[in-house]
Structure formats: C-alpha cells, structure tokens
Amino acid sequence: MNGKLQWKASSVINASLEDVWEATQDISLIPGFHPVVANVEFLSGQKKRAPGVEYQCIVAEGPQKGSCVEKVIENIPYEKTSTLSVSDTWGLSKMLKDFVTETTFEKISEDRTVLIFTGYYEPKSKILNALILRRKMKKRGMDVILGIKKMLENK
C-alpha cells in the first residue's frame, strides 16, 4: 500500500468463511449490502473480483448521488482482497491519494468469520481528514460490513 492506514472496521459474521468470501467476491451483490449503491456496472465485463477487474458503483439518489470506479488490485482467496478507488463524482479522488480498501477474512469456527475493512490513503488535507473524512469513511465501511452480515445471517 502506498497510502497510510486511516481507519479500520470489523464485525463477526455468523457464516462460514466460504460464504463470507463468496458474498464479497460477487460484485453484482454490492447493491444488496451497500447502504447507498443502487446499481453496479461491470466495466471489465466480469461479476467476480479478480486482479484488474474494474466496476462502477452508482448511487442513484440522495446527497451522495453520483458514482465511483473501483479496481481490484489484489485477491488472495479466503484471505484478502484490495480495491483501489480509481475515480468518483464526489471529489474524494481529489482529496485522497492512493485510496485502497483492504478486506480481510479471519475464520473463527465453521460458522463464524471476522470480516475486516481497512482504509489506506494519503489525505491532501490532514485537518479535513482528522475532523470529518476518516470518521465518515470508517462509518461507511462499518455500514457495508453490517449489510453483508445482515444479508448472510438472514438467508
């Protein structure tokens, strides 16, 4: 990672490592667990994460209406996947350099897995990052984890 560790969010999910891994690898499922993403466009033509795969998340309404393009830069089965934020319509890509979200998986038992999101980047404004961005992005990461948890535990 080129960016500096900025935030970390995690939760135990009552599902197998395999189920948690599969849910996070299927890009088409993002609207089902991300609180604001309405649709995903498969820019690389693939619905599964793999190094080099790019996709665009569309936020159709609300104050965050717009989109972002993300690219998978690392994908180690059942261990971790890393995604680079390539561009967005909100201006985040202008405020954050080398923004990467790393997702790691830790098996606790056959039906319990810890899902961890870690955010790395270099902020252009350390004050804005300290006051707003870091906290807001950690909350969004936690909201996504809780969406995955709800999706898998309420099957």
Alpha carbon distances (Å) from 108 to 14, 89, 112, 113, 155: 10, 38, 5, 5, 20
Domain 4-153 indexed as CATH 1.20.1600.10 = no
| CA neighbor of 15 nearest in space, from 133, 135, 154 | 154
CB 82 within 8 A of CB 100: yes
pLDDT of amino acid 35: 93
10-residue stretch averages of pLDDT, the chain, 155 residues long:
91 98 98 96 98 97 93 98 97 93 98 98 94 95 98 91
Q: What is the pLDDT of residue 1?
A: 63
pLDDT on residue 57: 98
Give the domain ranges of the chain. Answer: 4-153
Q: Per the structure block, which two tokens stand in for 88?
A: 């967005």
